[in-house]
Structure 1
Amino acid sequence: MSDPRLRDHMPLLTDTWGLPEAESFVAAKEARWTRDGLGHWALFAGGRYVGWGGFQKEGEEWDFGLVLRPQDFGLGGRIVRKALAFAQTDPRIPFVTFLLPPSRRNLGALARIGARPVGSRDYGNAHFLKYRLEMPRPDNSRT
């Protein structure tokens, strides 16, 4: 979270980032799990930490966020597909939202997965572009 390449696209990350901030961040994310029964995961590939991401309840909506270490940006598509496959089977999640800062210019991946722009939202002291992806449910009627 202290890497400038990440900080450039994380407008809510305005303070320094050290051990106390990391501990507070983890505690806040764990509290979401307790409150909502779902939250963000620590992400690993080949036994190596690559970032964090998952679903966070924002009001009545489930927002998906993903933050990868710069050297692991290439894993994003695979991680998103796995997370969305999870969401598709969870009846609590009829759709997923994505909040992206306007500094993110390459938004083609959102279009490719079917997410549609639904406006913008101010969150904290920052402005975000908002996208929505409906979660089709697997057809369980066939046996």
Structure 2
Amino acid sequence: MTLEFIRLPQVPLSEIVAHMSDPRVAEHMPLLTFEWDAQTAADFVAAKEACWTRDGLGHWAFVSDDNYVGWGGFQKEGDEWDFGLVLRPDAFGIGLRIARKALEFARLDPRIPFVTFLLPPSRPHLRGLHRLGAQPVGSVDYGGESFLKFRLDLH
């Protein structure tokens, strides 16, 4: 299985709309309270690309065997770098592999001594985070919703 990280503008907006419109994806995304269309996807891609411009790092699209399987990456939240990963349901099983590859990238960046992960309390499986070595640090409010926060030291 091949795995590539490409920039989000390289993915057709229709692929992102279909992905983010899947109810199985929204099930554990409490901030996803709106419908996706081409404009929503274009605005999303522009916002994620702005992170690359502002911070020199951002989100990628993930491609496995030439198929778009999701998006994720790093976003600066205050003084912390948060890692997020949103996969299509048919790719849920490769999340740990993608996360490990992304974290290898982060370990090479001296600006990133650790990363954080925010997960909704509805998320039943946390084994992947534990396998990565992430430690729970409590819960936080983000966008009016409660999330479990984890931290992974990289150095």
TM range (shorter): over 0.9
1:31-74 superposed Cα distances (whole Å, 9 cap, x missing partner):
11111110000111111111101000000100000011111111
Work out which of the residue numbers 16, 23, 33 in structure 1 matches 2:35: 16
Q: Does 1:132 align with 2:151?
A: yes
Work out which of the residue numbers 58, 82, 88 in structure 1 matches 2:101: 82
| Amino-acid identity (%) | 69
Q: Structure 2 length as normaliser, TM-score?
A: 0.85
Distance 1:8 1:113 in 2: 24
Runs of 4+ in structure 1 over 6 Å off:
none
Distance 2:32 2:85 in 1: 14
SS of structure 1 residue aligned to 2:29: coil
Q: 5+ unaligned residues in a row in structure 2: which ranges?
A: 1-19
Q: Structure 1 length as normaliser, TM-score?
A: 0.92
Letter in 1 for 2:24: R
Q: What are the equivalent positions in structure 2 for 1:57-136 lying under 5 Å apart?
A: 57-136=76-155
Q: Does 1:29 align with 2:48?
A: yes
SS of structure 2 residue aligned to 1:64: strand
Displacement of 1:4 in angstroms is 0.6
SS of structure 2 residue aligned to 1:91: coil
Distance 2:86 2:63 in 1: 12
Work out which of the residue numbers 65, 74, 87 in structure 2 matches 1:55: 74
How many residues are aligned here? 136
1:98-143 superposed Cα distances (whole Å, 9 cap, x missing partner):
000001011111112110000111111211000000002xxxxxxx
CA radius of gyration, larger in: 1
Could you tell me which residue of structure 2 aligns to residue 141 of structure 1? none
Distance 1:86 1:39 in 2: 12
Distance 2:71 2:26 in 1: 15
Letter in 2 for 1:45: S
Could you tell me which residue of structure 1 aligns to residue 60 of structure 2? 41
Q: 5+ unaligned residues in a row in structure 1: which ranges?
A: 137-143
